[in-house]
Protein backbone atom coordinates (compact mmCIF):
# COMPACT_ATOMS: atom_id res chain seq x y z
CA UNK A 1 0.00 0.00 0.00
CA UNK A 2 1.26 3.47 -0.93
CA UNK A 3 1.15 6.19 1.71
CA UNK A 4 1.94 9.86 1.13
CA UNK A 5 3.23 12.71 3.25
CA UNK A 6 4.21 16.35 2.70
CA UNK A 7 7.48 18.05 3.65
CA UNK A 8 6.99 21.79 4.04
CA UNK A 9 10.39 22.96 5.28
CA UNK A 10 14.00 22.75 4.14
CA UNK A 11 15.08 20.66 7.10
CA UNK A 12 12.66 17.95 6.00
CA UNK A 13 14.45 17.73 2.64
CA UNK A 14 17.74 17.15 4.42
CA UNK A 15 16.21 14.32 6.45
CA UNK A 16 15.29 12.34 3.33
CA UNK A 17 18.38 13.37 1.35
CA UNK A 18 19.98 9.91 1.24
CA UNK A 19 16.74 8.08 0.33
CA UNK A 20 15.88 10.64 -2.32
CA UNK A 21 19.34 10.43 -3.89
CA UNK A 22 19.11 6.64 -4.05
CA UNK A 23 15.68 6.89 -5.70
CA UNK A 24 17.02 9.12 -8.48
CA UNK A 25 20.05 6.85 -9.03
CA UNK A 26 22.05 7.70 -12.17
CA UNK A 27 19.51 8.42 -14.89
CA UNK A 28 20.37 10.97 -17.61
CA UNK A 29 17.95 13.40 -15.93
CA UNK A 30 19.45 12.96 -12.45
CA UNK A 31 21.17 16.37 -12.41
CA UNK A 32 17.76 18.06 -12.22
CA UNK A 33 16.13 15.52 -9.90
CA UNK A 34 18.48 15.17 -6.95
CA UNK A 35 17.78 16.81 -3.59
CA UNK A 36 21.00 18.82 -4.05
CA UNK A 37 19.46 20.54 -7.10
CA UNK A 38 16.44 21.61 -5.05
CA UNK A 39 18.40 22.54 -1.93
CA UNK A 40 20.65 24.81 -4.00
CA UNK A 41 17.54 26.59 -5.24
CA UNK A 42 16.26 26.97 -1.68
CA UNK A 43 19.63 28.42 -0.68
CA UNK A 44 19.17 31.28 -3.16
CA UNK A 45 15.42 31.65 -3.69
CA UNK A 46 13.58 30.53 -0.55
CA UNK A 47 9.89 30.28 -1.60
CA UNK A 48 7.07 31.17 0.71
CA UNK A 49 5.21 27.89 0.34
CA UNK A 50 6.79 24.56 -0.54
CA UNK A 51 5.15 21.14 -0.49
CA UNK A 52 7.42 18.21 -1.27
CA UNK A 53 5.08 15.24 -1.57
CA UNK A 54 6.65 11.89 -0.72
CA UNK A 55 5.30 8.39 -1.30
CA UNK A 56 6.29 5.25 0.57
CA UNK A 57 5.49 1.60 0.17
CA UNK A 58 6.35 -0.68 3.04
CA UNK A 59 8.42 2.13 4.53
CA UNK A 60 10.54 2.50 1.37
CA UNK A 61 10.60 5.85 -0.44
CA UNK A 62 9.11 5.26 -3.91
CA UNK A 63 8.24 8.77 -5.08
CA UNK A 64 9.00 12.47 -4.60
CA UNK A 65 7.06 15.38 -6.05
CA UNK A 66 8.88 18.65 -5.19
CA UNK A 67 6.33 21.46 -5.59
CA UNK A 68 5.91 25.06 -4.60
CA UNK A 69 3.25 27.72 -4.95
CA UNK A 70 4.97 30.43 -6.97
CA UNK A 71 3.93 33.75 -8.40
CA UNK A 72 4.86 34.03 -12.05
CA UNK A 73 6.65 37.09 -13.42
CA UNK A 74 5.26 39.62 -15.87
CA UNK A 75 5.40 37.03 -18.66
CA UNK A 76 2.85 35.02 -16.69
CA UNK A 77 1.06 38.24 -15.63
CA UNK A 78 1.91 37.43 -11.99
CA UNK A 79 -0.66 34.63 -11.74
CA UNK A 80 0.13 32.13 -8.97
CA UNK A 81 0.63 28.54 -10.01
CA UNK A 82 1.76 25.24 -8.55
CA UNK A 83 5.05 24.28 -10.15
CA UNK A 84 8.26 22.34 -9.51
CA UNK A 85 10.28 23.84 -6.70
CA UNK A 86 13.27 24.31 -9.03
CA UNK A 87 12.84 23.94 -12.78
CA UNK A 88 15.47 22.10 -14.80
CA UNK A 89 15.78 21.31 -18.49
CA UNK A 90 14.46 17.82 -17.73
CA UNK A 91 11.74 17.46 -15.12
CA UNK A 92 10.43 13.86 -15.11
CA UNK A 93 8.30 12.60 -12.22
CA UNK A 94 10.56 11.14 -9.56
CA UNK A 95 9.22 7.63 -8.96
CA UNK A 96 10.69 4.17 -8.44
CA UNK A 97 11.09 2.12 -11.60
CA UNK A 98 7.81 0.47 -12.60
CA UNK A 99 5.84 2.13 -9.80
CA UNK A 100 4.48 5.22 -11.56
CA UNK A 101 0.97 3.87 -12.23
CA UNK A 102 0.21 3.58 -8.53
CA UNK A 103 2.58 6.12 -6.98
CA UNK A 104 2.18 9.18 -9.19
CA UNK A 105 -1.65 9.52 -8.90
CA UNK A 106 -1.39 9.15 -5.13
CA UNK A 107 1.16 11.98 -4.92
CA UNK A 108 -0.83 14.21 -7.29
CA UNK A 109 -4.02 13.69 -5.28
CA UNK A 110 -2.13 14.69 -2.13
CA UNK A 111 -0.78 17.79 -3.87
CA UNK A 112 -4.27 18.84 -5.00
CA UNK A 113 -5.69 18.35 -1.51
CA UNK A 114 -2.88 20.53 -0.17
CA UNK A 115 -2.94 23.38 -2.70
CA UNK A 116 -6.55 23.21 -3.84
CA UNK A 117 -8.32 23.07 -7.20
CA UNK A 118 -8.25 26.77 -8.10
CA UNK A 119 -4.58 27.03 -9.16
CA UNK A 120 -2.98 26.16 -12.48
CA UNK A 121 -0.61 23.19 -12.15
CA UNK A 122 2.55 23.39 -14.26
CA UNK A 123 4.48 20.28 -15.33
CA UNK A 124 7.44 21.49 -17.43
CA UNK A 125 10.06 19.69 -19.51
CA UNK A 126 9.03 16.05 -19.19
CA UNK A 127 10.96 13.90 -21.69
CA UNK A 128 8.53 12.25 -24.08
CA UNK A 129 10.33 8.91 -23.62
CA UNK A 130 9.58 9.05 -19.88
CA UNK A 131 7.20 6.15 -18.99
CA UNK A 132 5.50 8.18 -16.24
CA UNK A 133 4.36 10.80 -18.78
CA UNK A 134 1.45 8.63 -19.94
CA UNK A 135 0.46 8.07 -16.32
CA UNK A 136 0.38 11.84 -15.79
CA UNK A 137 -1.73 12.44 -18.92
CA UNK A 138 -4.13 9.70 -17.88
CA UNK A 139 -4.41 11.26 -14.42
CA UNK A 140 -5.31 14.67 -15.86
CA UNK A 141 -7.98 13.12 -18.05
CA UNK A 142 -9.41 10.99 -15.24
CA UNK A 143 -9.64 14.01 -12.92
CA UNK A 144 -11.26 16.02 -15.76
CA UNK A 145 -8.51 18.61 -15.80
CA UNK A 146 -8.04 20.72 -18.91
CA UNK A 147 -4.46 20.95 -20.08
CA UNK A 148 -2.43 22.67 -22.77
CA UNK A 149 0.85 21.31 -24.06
CA UNK A 150 3.91 22.66 -25.81
CA UNK A 151 6.98 20.80 -27.02
CA UNK A 152 10.66 21.65 -27.05
CA UNK A 153 13.75 19.79 -28.18
CA UNK A 154 17.21 19.05 -26.84
CA UNK A 155 19.80 18.24 -29.55
CA UNK A 156 22.45 15.70 -28.49
CA UNK A 157 25.65 14.07 -29.66
CA UNK A 158 25.24 10.35 -29.05
CA UNK A 159 28.69 8.72 -29.00
CA UNK A 160 27.66 5.08 -28.84
CA UNK A 161 31.13 3.73 -28.02
CA UNK A 162 32.79 5.39 -31.03
CA UNK A 163 36.16 7.09 -31.08
CA UNK A 164 36.45 10.81 -31.79
CA UNK A 165 37.70 10.03 -35.30
CA UNK A 166 34.62 7.90 -35.94
CA UNK A 167 32.29 10.61 -34.60
CA UNK A 168 34.07 13.24 -36.67
CA UNK A 169 33.81 11.10 -39.82
CA UNK A 170 30.02 11.23 -39.56
CA UNK A 171 29.94 15.04 -39.83
CA UNK A 172 29.52 16.87 -43.09
CA UNK A 173 32.79 17.68 -44.85
CA UNK A 174 32.11 21.36 -44.32
CA UNK A 175 31.61 21.04 -40.57
CA UNK A 176 34.66 18.80 -40.17
CA UNK A 177 36.85 21.27 -42.07
CA UNK A 178 35.47 24.22 -40.11
CA UNK A 179 36.15 22.63 -36.70
CA UNK A 180 39.73 21.73 -37.62
CA UNK A 181 40.42 25.20 -39.05
CA UNK A 182 39.08 27.04 -36.00
CA UNK A 183 41.10 24.85 -33.66
CA UNK A 184 44.29 25.45 -35.61
CA UNK A 185 43.62 29.17 -35.73
CA UNK A 186 43.13 29.47 -31.98
CA UNK A 187 46.29 27.44 -31.36
CA UNK A 188 48.26 30.36 -32.86
CA UNK A 189 47.26 32.38 -29.76
CA UNK A 190 48.60 29.85 -27.27
CA UNK A 191 48.65 26.22 -26.23
CA UNK A 192 45.13 24.83 -25.77
CA UNK A 193 43.96 22.58 -22.96
CA UNK A 194 40.81 21.64 -21.13
CA UNK A 195 41.01 22.82 -17.54
CA UNK A 196 39.05 21.67 -14.52
CA UNK A 197 39.47 22.95 -10.95
CA UNK A 198 41.01 20.44 -8.56
CA UNK A 199 39.54 21.83 -5.34
CA UNK A 200 36.33 23.51 -4.30
CA UNK A 201 38.24 26.67 -3.35
CA UNK A 202 39.79 26.80 -6.82
CA UNK A 203 36.36 26.30 -8.39
CA UNK A 204 34.79 29.06 -6.29
CA UNK A 205 37.51 31.46 -7.37
CA UNK A 206 36.95 30.56 -11.02
CA UNK A 207 33.21 31.05 -10.59
CA UNK A 208 33.71 34.73 -9.84
CA UNK A 209 35.52 35.08 -13.15
CA UNK A 210 32.80 33.02 -14.84
CA UNK A 211 30.12 35.47 -13.64
CA UNK A 212 32.02 38.44 -15.09
CA UNK A 213 32.83 36.73 -18.40
CA UNK A 214 29.24 35.54 -18.81
CA UNK A 215 27.63 38.93 -18.29
CA UNK A 216 30.15 40.88 -20.36
CA UNK A 217 29.46 38.57 -23.28
CA UNK A 218 25.68 38.86 -23.07
CA UNK A 219 25.70 42.62 -22.58
CA UNK A 220 27.97 43.03 -25.59
CA UNK A 221 25.41 41.10 -27.63
CA UNK A 222 22.50 43.26 -26.50
CA UNK A 223 21.09 40.82 -23.93
CA UNK A 224 20.80 41.22 -20.12
CA UNK A 225 23.42 39.73 -17.85
CA UNK A 226 22.04 36.91 -15.71
CA UNK A 227 24.52 37.42 -12.89
CA UNK A 228 23.75 41.08 -12.35
CA UNK A 229 21.20 39.56 -9.97
CA UNK A 230 22.96 38.57 -6.70
CA UNK A 231 20.43 35.77 -6.14
CA UNK A 232 21.52 34.10 -9.39
CA UNK A 233 25.14 34.25 -8.24
CA UNK A 234 24.14 32.67 -4.92
CA UNK A 235 22.27 29.95 -6.79
CA UNK A 236 25.23 28.92 -8.93
CA UNK A 237 27.62 29.02 -5.98
CA UNK A 238 25.18 26.80 -4.06
CA UNK A 239 25.03 24.38 -7.01
CA UNK A 240 28.82 24.34 -7.10
CA UNK A 241 29.10 23.53 -3.41
CA UNK A 242 26.27 21.00 -3.21
CA UNK A 243 27.18 19.12 -6.41
CA UNK A 244 30.97 19.28 -6.07
CA UNK A 245 32.18 15.71 -6.61
CA UNK A 246 28.59 14.56 -7.19
CA UNK A 247 27.79 15.22 -10.83
CA UNK A 248 29.08 18.74 -11.42
CA UNK A 249 31.23 19.26 -14.52
CA UNK A 250 32.77 22.74 -14.32
CA UNK A 251 35.44 23.17 -16.94
CA UNK A 252 37.15 25.72 -19.16
CA UNK A 253 39.16 26.04 -22.34
CA UNK A 254 42.54 27.53 -21.53
CA UNK A 255 44.59 29.30 -24.20
CA UNK A 256 48.08 29.81 -22.89
CA UNK A 257 47.47 30.60 -19.23
CA UNK A 258 44.13 32.34 -19.75
CA UNK A 259 40.72 30.74 -19.40
CA UNK A 260 38.75 31.97 -22.41
CA UNK A 261 35.67 29.73 -22.35
CA UNK A 262 33.75 28.31 -19.38
CA UNK A 263 31.18 25.55 -19.18
CA UNK A 264 29.09 25.10 -16.04
CA UNK A 265 27.62 21.68 -16.72
CA UNK A 266 26.62 18.35 -15.18
CA UNK A 267 27.18 14.63 -15.70
CA UNK A 268 24.12 12.37 -15.50
CA UNK A 269 23.79 8.76 -16.59
CA UNK A 270 26.98 8.97 -18.62
CA UNK A 271 25.89 12.16 -20.40
CA UNK A 272 27.55 15.57 -20.16
CA UNK A 273 24.74 18.11 -19.88
CA UNK A 274 25.92 21.52 -21.18
CA UNK A 275 24.05 23.86 -18.88
CA UNK A 276 25.57 27.37 -18.89
CA UNK A 277 28.50 28.46 -21.12
CA UNK A 278 30.46 31.73 -21.16
CA UNK A 279 33.35 33.05 -23.23
CA UNK A 280 35.51 36.15 -23.28
CA UNK A 281 33.99 38.45 -25.85
CA UNK A 282 37.40 39.55 -27.16
CA UNK A 283 37.96 35.95 -28.37
CA UNK A 284 34.68 35.73 -30.25
CA UNK A 285 36.33 35.84 -33.68
CA UNK A 286 38.23 32.64 -32.79
CA UNK A 287 35.01 30.67 -32.09
CA UNK A 288 36.16 29.38 -28.69
CA UNK A 289 32.89 27.47 -28.23
CA UNK A 290 33.58 25.35 -31.30
CA UNK A 291 37.12 24.59 -30.13
CA UNK A 292 35.98 23.83 -26.59
CA UNK A 293 33.27 21.47 -27.80
CA UNK A 294 35.63 19.55 -30.07
CA UNK A 295 38.09 19.05 -27.21
CA UNK A 296 35.32 18.12 -24.77
CA UNK A 297 33.99 15.60 -27.28
CA UNK A 298 37.47 14.08 -27.58
CA UNK A 299 37.59 13.69 -23.81
CA UNK A 300 34.07 12.22 -23.71
CA UNK A 301 35.01 9.64 -26.35
CA UNK A 302 38.16 8.65 -24.45
CA UNK A 303 36.14 8.35 -21.23
CA UNK A 304 33.50 6.16 -22.92
CA UNK A 305 30.71 8.62 -22.15
CA UNK A 306 27.24 8.12 -23.60
CA UNK A 307 27.31 11.52 -25.24
CA UNK A 308 26.96 15.28 -24.88
CA UNK A 309 23.54 16.87 -24.38
CA UNK A 310 23.01 20.51 -25.42
CA UNK A 311 19.80 20.65 -23.35
CA UNK A 312 16.80 22.69 -24.46
CA UNK A 313 17.04 25.16 -27.30
CA UNK A 314 16.94 25.15 -31.08
CA UNK A 315 20.04 27.21 -31.77
CA UNK A 316 21.39 26.38 -35.20
CA UNK A 317 24.88 25.48 -34.00
CA UNK A 318 23.51 22.65 -31.86
CA UNK A 319 22.10 20.84 -34.87
CA UNK A 320 25.42 21.08 -36.74
CA UNK A 321 26.97 18.91 -34.04
CA UNK A 322 24.10 16.66 -32.99
CA UNK A 323 23.03 13.28 -34.29
CA UNK A 324 20.09 12.80 -31.93
CA UNK A 325 17.20 14.89 -30.58
CA UNK A 326 15.24 14.42 -27.37
CA UNK A 327 11.76 15.95 -27.14
CA UNK A 328 10.18 17.26 -23.95
CA UNK A 329 6.59 18.15 -23.14
CA UNK A 330 5.43 21.18 -21.16
CA UNK A 331 1.95 21.04 -19.58
CA UNK A 332 -0.29 23.60 -17.90
CA UNK A 333 -3.31 21.94 -16.29
CA UNK A 334 -6.35 23.32 -14.47
CA UNK A 335 -9.69 22.21 -13.10
CA UNK A 336 -11.32 25.35 -14.50
CA UNK A 337 -10.62 25.72 -18.21
CA UNK A 338 -11.85 29.30 -18.48
CA UNK A 339 -9.96 30.70 -15.53
CA UNK A 340 -7.94 33.80 -16.50
CA UNK A 341 -4.76 32.19 -15.19
CA UNK A 342 -5.10 29.08 -17.37
CA UNK A 343 -6.08 31.02 -20.47
CA UNK A 344 -3.12 33.35 -20.10
CA UNK A 345 -0.54 30.69 -19.23
CA UNK A 346 -1.76 28.39 -22.00
CA UNK A 347 -2.26 31.02 -24.72
CA UNK A 348 -1.04 34.48 -23.76
CA UNK A 349 2.35 33.58 -22.32
CA UNK A 350 3.53 31.68 -25.44
CA UNK A 351 2.73 34.75 -27.52
CA UNK A 352 4.66 37.02 -25.14
CA UNK A 353 7.70 34.72 -25.13
CA UNK A 354 7.80 34.72 -28.92
CA UNK A 355 7.00 38.37 -29.69
CA UNK A 356 7.50 40.52 -26.58
CA UNK A 357 10.29 38.82 -24.61
CA UNK A 358 13.07 39.69 -27.12
CA UNK A 359 12.15 43.39 -26.93
CA UNK A 360 12.09 43.33 -23.13
CA UNK A 361 15.46 41.54 -23.02
CA UNK A 362 17.12 44.18 -25.20
CA UNK A 363 15.70 46.98 -23.04
CA UNK A 364 16.94 45.28 -19.87
CA UNK A 365 20.39 44.87 -21.41
CA UNK A 366 20.55 48.58 -22.23
CA UNK A 367 19.75 49.47 -18.62
CA UNK A 368 22.44 47.11 -17.33
CA UNK A 369 25.05 48.54 -19.71
CA UNK A 370 24.20 52.09 -18.57
CA UNK A 371 24.55 50.97 -14.95
CA UNK A 372 27.90 49.33 -15.70
CA UNK A 373 29.25 52.47 -17.40
CA UNK A 374 28.19 54.63 -14.46
CA UNK A 375 29.70 52.24 -11.93
CA UNK A 376 33.09 52.06 -13.69
CA UNK A 377 34.22 55.67 -12.95
CA UNK A 378 33.04 55.34 -9.34
CA UNK A 379 35.00 52.13 -8.93
CA UNK A 380 38.15 53.73 -10.37
CA UNK A 381 37.85 56.70 -8.00
CA UNK A 382 37.46 54.35 -5.04
Residue pLDDT, tens place only, 140-165: 999 999 999 999 999 999 999 999 99
Q: Are 103 and 30 part of one and the same domain?
A: yes
Percent of the chain's residues with pLDDT above 90? 81
Q: Longest C-alpha distance within the chain, in Å?
A: 69
Three-class HEC string of 10-69:
HHHHHHCHHHHHHHHCCCCCHHHCCHHHHHHHHHHCCCCCEEEEEEEECCEEEEEEEEEE
Q: Indicate the helix (H) or strand (E) that contains 146.
A: strand 146-158
271 and 226 in a common domain: yes
pTM attached to this predicted model:
0.89
Residues 148 and 164 both lie in one domain: no
On the CB side of 125, CA atoms within 13 Å amount to: 15
Residues 146, 8 within the same domain: yes
User: Is residue 318 in some structural domain?
Assistant: no
Same domain, 9 and 147: yes
pLDDT at 382: 45
Residue 223 domain-assigned?
yes
Q: What is the pLDDT of residues 221-232, one digit of tens each?
A: 888 899 999 999
Instruction: Please give the pLDDT value at position 30.
Output: 94
Same domain assignment for residues 215 and 169: yes
**Does residue 381 form part of some domain?**
no
**351 and 291 in a common domain:** no
Q: What range defines the domain where residue 298 resides?
A: 160-305
378 inside domain: no
- Given a cut of 80, is residue 122 above it in pLDDT? yes
Same domain, 48 and 167: no
Query: Do 251 and 135 fall into the same domain?
Result: no
The reply to whether 380 falls in a domain is: no
Domain boundary among 305, 339, 359: 305
CB 297 within 8 A of CB 167: yes
| Count of domains observed in the chain | 2
pLDDT at 372: 58
Q: Is the pLDDT of residue 376 over 90?
A: no
- The DSSP call for residue 74 is G
- Of 305, 335, 357, at which residue does a domain stop? 305
pLDDT tens-digit series, residues 296-328:
999 999 999 999 999 999 999 999 999 999 999
Residues 350, 283 share a domain? no
In the structure, what pLDDT confidence band is assigned to residue 369 with cuts at 50, 70 and 90? low
pLDDT digits (tens, 9 = 90+) for 321-364: 999 999 999 999 999 999 999 998 888 776 666 654 554 445 55
3-state secondary structure of 268: strand
Task: Confirm whether 30 is domain-assigned.
Answer: yes
Read off the CATH number of the domain in which 361 is found.
Answer: 3.40.630.30
Amino acid sequence: MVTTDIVTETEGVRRIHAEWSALVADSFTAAFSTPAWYLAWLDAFPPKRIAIVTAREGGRLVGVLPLSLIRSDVRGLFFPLVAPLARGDYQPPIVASGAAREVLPAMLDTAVRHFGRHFVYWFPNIPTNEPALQVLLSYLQTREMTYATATAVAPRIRIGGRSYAEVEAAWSARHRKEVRHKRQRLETCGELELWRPQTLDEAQSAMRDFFTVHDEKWLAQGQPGRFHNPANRRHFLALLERLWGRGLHFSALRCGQRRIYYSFSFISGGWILLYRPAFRIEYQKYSPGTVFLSMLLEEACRSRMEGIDFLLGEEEFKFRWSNDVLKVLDLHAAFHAWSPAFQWLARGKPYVLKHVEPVMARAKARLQRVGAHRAAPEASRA
